Structure 1
Amino acid sequence: MLKHLNEKNSVTIYSVTDPCFETYGRVISNINCNELISFMEQNTVIPEKGNIYVASVEELERTHIAEFFKNRIYGEMPIQIGYCNGRNTTYNGFEYHKGSEINIAVTDFMLVLGHTWEIKDNTYRIEDAKVFFVEKGTAIEMYQTTLHLSPCRVSDIGFKDVVILPRGTNTPLNNGGTDETAIGEERLLLQRNKWVIAHPDREPLIKQGAYPGLLGENKELYY
């Protein structure tokens, strides 16, 4: 699959097992996520268009493996386990959180990643990002300095992804919305523990109040 994706695209697609992934995150090995994957396969759907994101799913949070992530990865901090399913193929923008994000690939997919230290004056250049292939069944930790957004599909079917984050992340702000008069990093805050830079062409994000700071062509990834 990785060879096929590289033949289809003008940008290099790396595996998350490649050493160049080490500044973005790590593969969590020797862990069995079949309980989460099985629930996702049997109980969630891929929308006909776009993506769906659910921050917290009680059934996923009651699984035995949830305790492993809470205790071993997040040091007994409260977590939420949800999912993102969809059909995305374009970069669209980037977000980051204060705290790692765990992704578990229920299907194969690609991730477009960057580093927070590459943000300049609330802007980020698309050409600075790298694309990584995540094989079905793989669990990865993305560090809090890693820019990311929705996965990109590698088949007509779409993608399914389990998403684990500190509890409360990606939920509405207490003050009711983005402060468009803010400066610096504060202007990027879109939801609780969610800072976002959007491509100006990505209307759904812009309408939510995301800052249009992604510079360059909003690339599409092919499969």
Structure 2
Amino acid sequence: MLKKLKELNDFPVYSCDDKEFKKYGKIIEGYNFKELEEYVEKHTLIPEVGNIYVASHEEMEKHSIYNEIKSNLYGGMNIEFGYCNGNNSLLNGLEYHKGSELNVAVTDLLLLLAHVNDIEEGKIDSSKVKGFYIPKGKVIEIYQTTMHFSPCKLSKEGFKCIVILPRDTNTDIDLLNKKIIFEEDKYLFKKNKWLLVHKDKQDFISKGAYEGIVGKNLKVNY
């Protein structure tokens, strides 16, 4: 799969097992996510068009792994278990959070990643983005300095991904009364979600998202 992805795409593609990933995150081992993965496989759907994102899923948070992750990997902080399923193949945007994100690949998927240091004068060029292949069953931590967005599918059936974040991340905030004091305040789109989007993502721009990605809107071919 990795060899094929490298051949079909015009941007750098690596595996999350490669040393290049260390700048963006790390692989998490030792925790048993099997029961949670099986739940997502059986009880969540991939929409026919687009993506579906659920920030906090009550049934998922009842699994015993929730308390282990909360106590250990997040040091007792309140967290949320959710999922993102869909058909995305485009970059479209790059976001970051104040706090790490865990992704559990329920299917094979590819993540398009950049670093917050790649933002210059309120813009980031898509040429800074790298692709990382995340095979089914892999659990990764994405650092808070890593810019990311929706996973990209690697099959016509779409993708499924478990998403774990600090509690209330990606929930709504009042953008109309947002006060701009510091440059990155322009990027704030939802709670604990700083987002830069490509001009192609007009549906987000119309809702207040900051147009900050220049260059090609990368598409993942598989």
TM over 0.5: yes
- Distance in 2 (CA, whole Å) between partners of 1:202 and 1:180 is 21
User: After superposition, where does 1:2-151 map in structure 2 within 5 Å?
Assistant: 2-151=2-151
Give the equivalent residue in structure 2 for 1:195.
Answer: 194
Offset of 1:118 from its aligned partner? 1.2
Aligned partners of 1:162 and 1:168: how far apart in 2?
16
Establish whether residue 156 from structure 1 lines up as the match of residue 156 from structure 2: yes
Amino acid at match of 1:190: F
CA distance in 2, matches of 1:103, 1:34: 14
* Counterpart mapping for 1:195-214 below 5 A: 195-214=194-213
Which residue number in structure 2 is paired with residue 177 of structure 1?
175
- 1:12 is displaced (CA, Å) by 2.4
How big is each residue's C-alpha offset from its partner over 1:16-39, in whole Å with a ceiling of 9 and x where there is no partner?
A: 010110010000012221111101
The aligned amino acid for 1:89 is: S
Q: Is the 8 A contact 2:99 2:166 kept in 1?
A: yes
Q: 1:179 to 1:124 in 2, by over 3 A?
A: farther
Q: 8 Å contact 2:2–2:133 — kept in the other structure?
A: yes
CA distance in 1, matches of 2:54, 2:123: 27
Alignment-mate amino acid for residue 53 of structure 2: Y
Equivalents in 1 of 2:19, 2:11: separation in Å? 18
Deviation at 1:6, TM superposition (A): 1.4
Which residue identity does 2:185 align to in structure 1?
E
Rounded to whole Å, the distance in 1 between the matches of 2:179 and 2:61 is 37
Gaps of at least 5 residues in structure 1 are: none
1:103: Cα distance to partner?
Answer: 0.3
Q: Taking structure 2 as the reference length, what is the TM-score of the superposition?
A: 0.96
CA-CA distance at 1:4 after TM superposition? 1.5
Deviation at 1:178, TM superposition (A): 5.1
Partners in 2 of 1:29 and 1:179 — Cα distance?
42
Q: Percent identity?
A: 46
- Relative to the length of structure 1, the TM-score reads 0.96
Give the distance between the partners of 2:51 and 2:203, measured in 1 at CA: 11
Q: For the residues of structure 1 that align with 2:126 and 2:12, how far apart are their CA atoms?
A: 13
Residue 221 of structure 2 is matched in structure 1 by 222
On the 8 A contact 1:102/1:142 being kept in 2, the answer is yes
Give the letter for the 1:177 counterpart.
Answer: L
2:179/2:185 contact within 8 Å kept: no
Q: Is the 8 A contact 1:179 1:187 kept in 2?
A: no
Q: Distance in 2 between matches of 1:153 and 1:194?
A: 23
**Paired AA for residue 7 in structure 2:** E
Q: CA deviation at 1:179?
A: 5.2
Deviation at 1:69? 1.0
Letter in 2 for 1:56: S
Letter in 1 for 2:175: G
CA contact (8 A) 2:11 2:129 kept: no
